Each structure stands twice: as C-alpha cells, then as structure tokens.
C-alpha cells in the first residue's frame, strides 16, 4: 500500500490462530479501523493497561463471590477492610470518601446499609460533634478473616508459576507505574486527534 493511500478494511488483516505477530497500524488509519484492529489482537499483544484491567476484573470476580455469600458488595467489603486496618474509631466517613474516591452521598448510603446489616456501628465523635466515628462489630471482624483468607488463596493461584524474584520485580514495576501516573496528573493529549 502506498503512503498516500488510505487504509481499507482489507489493509488491516485480522490476526488468525496461525499468525500472532504484532501488526503495525498505519498512523493515517481511520479511528474505526484502529479500534477494529485492536479488538482482534491476541490477549498477549494487548496494551499493559488492558491486561492489568483483565487481571483486576478476574480477581474482583473471585472477591465478589465471597462478598455475595455475606450479602455484601465488593465496595462494602473494601470499606470494612479499610476500617479494620485502622485503630477502632479512627476512621470517619470523610476518610472513606477520600481514600476510595467515593461521593459523600454514596458513602452515606453504604454506611447505612452496613449498619443495618450489623457490620458497623456509628458514634458521634466526642471531639467533634459534626463528625462520626465508625466501629466494626464482631460480625465484621469474622468476615474480615474470611476475606483475608480468600485474598491470600486467590493471590496464590494468580501468582502460580512466577518465581519470588519475578514477583518482587512485578511489585517494583507496578509501584513505579503508580508513581509515574501520580506525577503526571495532566498527561499531554496533543496526540489524540478528533474530527470536527
């Protein structure tokens, strides 16, 4: 295909089971064709961010099974986990909003449901009557033990076949990626072009 020619659907060949090589997508390709090519990429050739999302989704699916057994959502389990990892009474609804990036209304609703189900109790902060302190109940503590065991078991399955050295390297790389994204709060979007 000449450089001046626009790519057609035939110019971007869909990968087959026999051909797994990474395909070069022309810079001049139409957005729809680029998306179509990416859609048909083998899993092992997809962007790192996509593989991370797939991993997260698979892991979350396992955790959701545990949560559903206790009539909870994964977000409610995240909140209970956060509270359990701090000294009793030191976590407030505002802390949960900031830590889990949830709105005030969402956290308020989650707190009410967790309280009704007997997993937490809310008390007025004696030092600041405008805020509330959150305490977990024995029911929540028993659940947290189950969640920890499930996380450990799922992580063991996920890391099967990976050496301790590779796990340490993976951890360092993930922390580096997190740090890179934290430092680049306003990424350069000049490469993204849309038609008027």
> Rounded distance, CA 154 to CA 188, Å?
37
**And the tokens for 108?**
């308020």
CA atoms within 13 A on the CB side of 90: 7
Asked if residue 19 belongs to a domain, the reply is no
Classified as helix, coil or strand, 16 is coil
pLDDT tens digits for range 144-190: 888 888 888 889 999 999 999 999 999 999 999 989 988 876 555 44
Q: Are 77 and 63 in contact (CB under 8 A)?
A: yes
> Rounded distance, CA 115 to CA 136, Å?
9
Asked if residue 18 belongs to a domain, the reply is no
Asked if residue 190 belongs to a domain, the reply is no
Asked if residue 89 belongs to a domain, the reply is yes
Residue 18 has pLDDT above 60, yes or no: no
The mean pLDDT of 95-124, rounded to a whole number, is 90
> Rounded distance, CA 113 to CA 104, Å?
14
pLDDT at 29: 55
pLDDT tier, 126 (very low <50, low <70, confident <90, very high otherwise): confident
Asked if residue 54 belongs to a domain, the reply is yes
pLDDT more than 90, % of the chain: 21
What single-letter DSSP state applies at residue 44? G
The mean pLDDT of 101-119, rounded to a whole number, is 91
Residue 64 has pLDDT above 90, yes or no: no
Asked if residue 36 belongs to a domain, the reply is yes
Tally of domains within the chain = 1
> Rounded distance, CA 48 to CA 191, Å?
19
Asked if residue 184 belongs to a domain, the reply is no
The mean pLDDT of 112-128, rounded to a whole number, is 88
Asked if residue 21 belongs to a domain, the reply is no
pLDDT at 192: 45
- Please tell me the pTM assigned to this model: 0.52
Which CATH number characterizes residue 36's domain?
A: 1.10.10.10
| Domain ranges, residue 149 | 26-174
């Amino acid at each position: 295909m000449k450089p001046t020619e626009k790519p057609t659907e035939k110019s971007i060949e869909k990968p087959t089971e026999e051909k797994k090589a990474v395909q070069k997508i022309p810079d001049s390709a139409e957005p729809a064709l680029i998306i179509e090519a990416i859609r048909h990429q083998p899993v092992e050739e997809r962007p790192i961010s996509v593989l991370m999302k797939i991993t997260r989704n698979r892991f979350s699916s396992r955790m959701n099974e545990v949560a559903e057994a206790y009539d909870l959502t994964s977000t409610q389990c995240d909140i209970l986990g956060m509270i359990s990892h701090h000294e009793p009474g030191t976590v407030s609804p505002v802390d949960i909003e900031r830590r889990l990036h949830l709105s005030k209304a969402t956290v308020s609703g989650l707190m009410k449901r967790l309280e009704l189900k007997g997993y937490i109790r809310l008390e007025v902060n004696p030092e600041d009557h405008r805020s509330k302190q959150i305490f977990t109940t024995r029911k929540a503590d028993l659940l947290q033990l189950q969640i920890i065991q499930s996380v450990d078991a799922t992580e063991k399955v996920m890391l099967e076949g990976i050496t301790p050295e590779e796990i340490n390297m993976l951890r360092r790389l993930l922390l580096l990626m997190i740090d890179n994204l934290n430092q680049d709060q306003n990424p350069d979007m000049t490469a993204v072009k849309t038609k008027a």
